Structure formats: C-alpha cells, structure tokens
Structure 1
C-alpha cells in the first residue's frame, strides 16, 4: 500500500520523568492489560518515529488529555503548548483537548476553562464519564451526567467555544443524547467508537448500536473510530470491521474519523497496522469519503489551522 497521510485526532503524549500521571502508578492490571511497555516518556519525536517506521505521514494531531495530575490540569496544557511551539516538532500537537471536572464549584470550573484557553491550541475538554457495573471497567464510580451542578457547569463550554470529547459506555448513551440536545451549540465527539466492552452478548451489541443511532440524531455529535485494542487485545481487521462499518452507517462519513489512540494502542499493535486496518475496512470508499475519514473531518471538527 502506498504512503498513507493522516490527521490523527486522538493521541496522548506524556513525560513521566517530569509530570505525574496517577493511572500509571496503579498496581495490578486493568482491562487494558499490562501497561508497563508504555510506562515511559512518549513525546512528539516518539510519535513521529512510530509513524515513519510504518510509512504513515502525520499531517496534524489532536492531543487528548492523558489523565495528568488532577491537582494541576493546566500544567499539562502548558507543557503541550510548549511542545507545539518547539522547533522540530512540526507544530504538534496542533490541537489540545484539556481536562476539567465539571462537578467542582462553578467559579472554579470557569477559572480553569479560562486558564486553559490562554493557550492557543486548546480546542476542547474531556472529562471521562465511564461508569460500569463491573469494577474492572468502571473509571469514575459516579454518574456525572445525572448531577445538576455538573450539567449546569457543562454549559460553560459554549461560552469558551470549546468542544467536548465524550468517553462513555453504551448504556450511558441515552443520557448523553439528553445532554447533547440540551446544549445543541456544543460539539460532542464520541471517543473510541463508544467503547463496546460488553461485545460478547446480543444485548451488548444492541445497546451500542441503538445508542449510536440515538446520538447520531443529534447534529452536534461526531464519532472517533479508535481504541479497539483496549476492548479486544487480539483484534484483527476482520474483528473490528463490523464496528467501523456500523458506526459509519450511523453517522455518515461526514461525521466519523479514524484515530490511533497512541501510544495506548501500541500495547496491541504498531502504528501502521492500525491505520492500514482502517484503510482496508473502507477500501471501497470514495476519494472524498476517504479524505473525510482520514483527514478532513478531524481538521474541521477540531478547528485545525
């Protein structure tokens, strides 16, 4: 296959030698498996090296918060902007999706959003929402979208022209539909194709499929196709194909985009294998659809210059 050019809208960078990432300090294994192979610094040069070795050209990239020390989320933003401004880093990451906790007092949330927006590459916010009855899959242990203060503070995104990266499980999707309809001027981007962890049952598939269909009725919701390795460590092109095609069928090629989730998905594959699997899954797409899925949608949705 010829050289593949991409805008990667879901990458993580970290410098554990100088910053703190609590999730990397946890003992034992979560459902993503043993993270020790990625428990080391991973910066722009590492990402570009992974891509170059695979024959993939990264035209731009979006950094999604890496669960940096919650005591100082703005420090992650400051560091990322310094990387983007550094010579030799090709202005990467071109966009930053920072961290914020909307359950905090309103004045604190507004102060935090204003601080993030002092850095020109900031485009959005992510607050992980995943709640699951199985403790192995449960991220946050509370249903933020059901909390009035959280929902009210969430509306501040509109004031600061920020999007929201929506990371959740399928059974949370009906609540997310209500949120998206409450705030139609805020752009929502579903992370990791909706994270179908209950993929082994018919009920799990239906909850995911129907949840995506409901979210797709909201014009302000888009979807990222990524993170399949976290759910299925031994994934193949054929195993992820049904999820990719179903998601694109729900949202259309104009509201879907491929992403790597590197270096987390480096635990399960290399950079080129991920992107070429995506290309194989949509091999019959038109040139315009291919450009949208691999580059153009990410540029538009994250307002990349």
Structure 2
C-alpha cells in the first residue's frame, strides 16, 4: 500500500523545545506519556510496517521556538534519513509583530517550507481548550495571515466546529490562500445532536469555499477507542462535503499512535473507502497531498 502522509510530527526531547512532552499532563489526548520520547524518521521506518511512504509532510509540533524546530528539521533533512520530511508546515505566531521575521527566518533555513500552522482551538471546557484566545478575530493576526499569499504558502487550520463559520468567513476574505482543515474538523461535542449538526453544517460552510481542503486524520484524539465503524460516518460525511478532489488521509503520527498502529490506521482508511475507483483512491491517499503541499 503506497501513501503520501501529509500530517506527521518528529521531535527530539534533548532540544528542550517541547516542554509539553517533557512533563506530560493528561489532556484531551488522555495519558500521552507513552509518546514522551524522541520520534525520528527511523522510528517511523520501524512503525510503518508494510506501508510504502512515498513522501511525508511535517507539521509543527507546538515548539516553544518554531525557528529552532525548523533549524533542527533542516538538519534531519540534510542527514539524508529516508523518511526525512519532504515538506514543512512550520509554526508561526501570527499575533506577534515579528511574525514576518519568524516566517522568513524559517524559509531561509529550508526550501521545504510550504505552509504555516498556528493551533486555534478554543472551547468552553478547559479539557479541550488549546489557546484560550480568539486569534482569528484580532486584526493584527488577520493582517499577518495575509502575508502567506505573496509567499505562496498554505495555512493549516486546526479548529473546532464552533469556530467553522468564522473560519469560512476568513477563507472567503483570504481567497488567495489555501486553507487545510486539520483532523476532519475535530468533531468534539459528541454528547448531543447539536454537536453533530455544528460539525456537519460547519464542514459544508467551509467546503463551499474553493480554497479549503480537509485532512482526514486525528480520529483517536477525540475517540481513544475508535473503530472502523465509528469513523466511517465521519469520513463519508467529510468526503461528501468536500468531494474526493479536496480530501486526503493522514496519520497524525505519533499522536494517533497512542490509539492504533501506523499500519492499522492506513489499512482502516483503505477499508472505509472500499469501492472507490483507482483514481479516487490515488487522490485520497497520494495525489491530493502532493498537489496541496506541492510535493
């Protein structure tokens, strides 16, 4: 089975750049202490099993110093490791006055920088709240986001369904930027019908923007005992909203490695879309990721 993985993370704890891993505190991921160790290309090589990874995209891993993270990744790439990242979605705090300098410093470190992610998840429940701040409503943040267009960079959009209408308005306003919705829109409020409706309707509103794609990933983050049957309606709803041409599967490894093996994740994805044509399967597992991240 050949794939392009458009969402994974590497880190070295010796860098001191991910304190959230050095001192694990249970959160929406549950007890993530098993993940609190180095994760390098050679670790993915061991974990991949029979999955042929043709290319992969590294997404920032909540580093204290994103420039240092990119410098380290450039060294990993220079080492010639087989599963070194083919593209980098780097971290930039777009609320900072020096956001442009942060970004350009990282682009100077590596010509594989293809996009930016800044986690935006806010939620009334502290267990699910990431940032406690509505960045998208801040004029300075929005102004800095616009600089991605002139650099030909995409923006990885990690939000909850309650933020989707606001994000869709942002996508319409910045129609020269490609937005990539992370983790199937993070369907978080699962106890009531209103939660499902917010996720479903939010997907449709975002999908109405031609400059938004979706990554089908991260299912274990909010359902630690996820099964194929539990994920089927989420994947089908997302693909129905965005179409085959704007959806792609991803591993979110090693985070989702807390809940399933790398090979198991990808083989489950394949089972979920049994019956699609060869070209549709290629789009979901390889071609859309290549196009999105210019691989």
TM-score by length of 2: 0.98
1:49 matched to 2:46? The reply is yes
Q: How far did 1:153 drift?
A: 1.1
**Whole-angstrom distance in 2 between the partners of 1:147 and 1:274:** 37
1:182 matched to 2:173? The reply is yes
**Whole-angstrom distance in 1 between the partners of 2:73 and 2:261:** 24
Q: How far did 1:19 drift?
A: 3.4
**Whole-angstrom distance in 2 between the partners of 1:85 and 1:24:** 25
Of 112, 115, 122, the residue aligned with 2:105 is: 115
Q: Is the 8 A contact 1:85 1:91 kept in 2?
A: no
Of 1, 15, 18, the residue aligned with 1:18 is: 15
Matched position secondary structure for 1:30 = coil
Q: Is the 8 A contact 1:114 1:160 kept in 2?
A: no
Of 88, 91, 96, the residue aligned with 1:104 is: 96
**Whole-angstrom distance in 2 between the partners of 1:283 and 1:121:** 33
Of 80, 83, 93, the residue aligned with 2:76 is: 83
Give the paired residue count: 294
Q: How is 1:261-280 mapped onto 2 (pairs within 5 angstroms)?
A: 261-280=252-271
Q: Point out where structure 2 has 5 or more consecutive residues left out of the alignment.
A: none
Spell out, residue by residue over 1:163-207, the C-alpha distance to the aligned partner (whole angstroms, 9 max, x if none): 000000000000101110111110100000000111222100000
Q: How far did 1:68 drift?
A: 1.0
**Whole-angstrom distance in 1 between the partners of 2:234 and 2:83:** 33
Spell out, residue by residue over 1:34-92, the C-alpha distance to the aligned partner (whole angstroms, 9 max, x if none): 111110001001011100x2x111100000001111xx2111111112212212x1262
TM-score by length of 1: 0.94
Q: How far did 1:22 drift?
A: 2.4
Of 69, 73, 80, the residue aligned with 2:66 is: 73
**Whole-angstrom distance in 2 between the partners of 1:283 and 1:200:** 29
Could you list the runs of 4 or more consecutive aligned residues of structure 1 that deviate by over 6 angstroms after TM superposition?
Answer: none
Shift of the 26–174 alpha-carbon distance from structure 1 to 2, 3 Å rule, reads farther
**Whole-angstrom distance in 2 between the partners of 1:36 and 1:26:** 8
Tell me the residue number matched to 2:188: 197
1:34 matched to 2:24? The reply is no
Q: Is the 8 A contact 2:21 2:37 kept in 1?
A: no
Shift of the 194–219 alpha-carbon distance from structure 1 to 2, 3 Å rule, reads same
**Whole-angstrom distance in 1 between the partners of 2:206 and 2:43:** 35
**Whole-angstrom distance in 1 between the partners of 2:225 and 2:114:** 33
Tell me the residue number matched to 2:216: 225
Q: Is the 8 A contact 1:102 1:109 kept in 2?
A: yes
Q: Is the 8 A contact 1:228 1:235 kept in 2?
A: yes
